[in-house]
Amino acid sequence: MMKRTQEHEGVDRIFPITVSWLVILLASGCAAPSQNQTLENPVALVEIKEKVKKVKTTEVLFIGNSYSFGVPKAFKQLARQNGEKVRVGNATHGGWTLEQHLEHEPTLEKLRSRDWDVVVIQEQSQRPALKESQRHAVMDPAVQFFVNQARAIGATPMLYQTWGRRDGLDWVKGDDFLQMNSRIREGYRSASDQAGGVTVVPAGDAWEREFLDGRGNELFEDDGSHPSEFGDKVTAEVFYDTIFSNSSRVPE
């Protein structure tokens, strides 16, 4: 099993936590998503479905950190099992924020190196769970930057909604998976809105359904944060459904 790098880099400079923030977080609610709930933007989904129909091989770039280490391979394998031709690339570094990526020339070079069909944008695992004012300051500008960069090369941007940690954040009193997952969901929904309506791949919602069905421990590695092989599989299925479901590729 792949050893993951802990995601703590770039965190100290966006805290401390205030008492008022804790009150807001713990009062935010954590209603479980329904089986059919997604954060997909209908216009953007039509865009990607139409694009998939017109190409023989779908090219997908993942920009993120260790939460994206195993997903590209799992997604590629699933797509091929279902008769889809996929090429995946990645610009991923353990613990990195999108801010770090936008200042990293190799990431930008990878983004501009091919005619990607889809660019997957994944923020560091804790930032989407911040209170609104902090998210707007540290997450939204970087998301908007990569959304604009993806569109500039003709790709469809997608936001990769990750998940709450198994036991929540240890610095938030009384936190747990469901509460953190709810904040992550809201963080990506907000970032999508701020970027003009970007499709959100709701992996965290699928994790929540597995968690509520009693398979929560199977999703995580021992650290209670990073995805196990099963967690990567669950996430890959959401990516496959978002990109390929109900699409009909042109014959070769």
Domain 39-244 -> CATH class: alpha beta
pLDDT at 38: 42
Could you tell me the two tokens for 228? 């196990």
pLDDT at 116: 96
Boundaries of every domain in the chain: 39-244
CB 127 within 8 A of CB 135: yes
Residues facing 58 on adjacent strands:
86
Q: What is the pLDDT of residues 142-166, one digit of tens each?
A: 999 999 999 999 999 999 999 999 9
pLDDT at 183: 96
Q: Which amino acid is at 199?
A: T
Q: What kind and span of H or E run contains 186? A: helix 177-194
Q: What is the pLDDT of residues 229-243, one digit of tens each?
A: 999 999 999 999 999
What is the percent of the chain where pLDDT is above 70? Answer: 79
pLDDT at 49: 77
Q: What stretches in the chain show pLDDT beneath 70?
A: 1-45, 246-252
Which of 157, 206, 214 lies closest to 185 in space, CA to CA?
206
pLDDT at 19: 33
pLDDT at 41: 57
Q: What is the pLDDT of residues 97-115, one digit of tens each?
A: 999 999 999 999 999 999 9
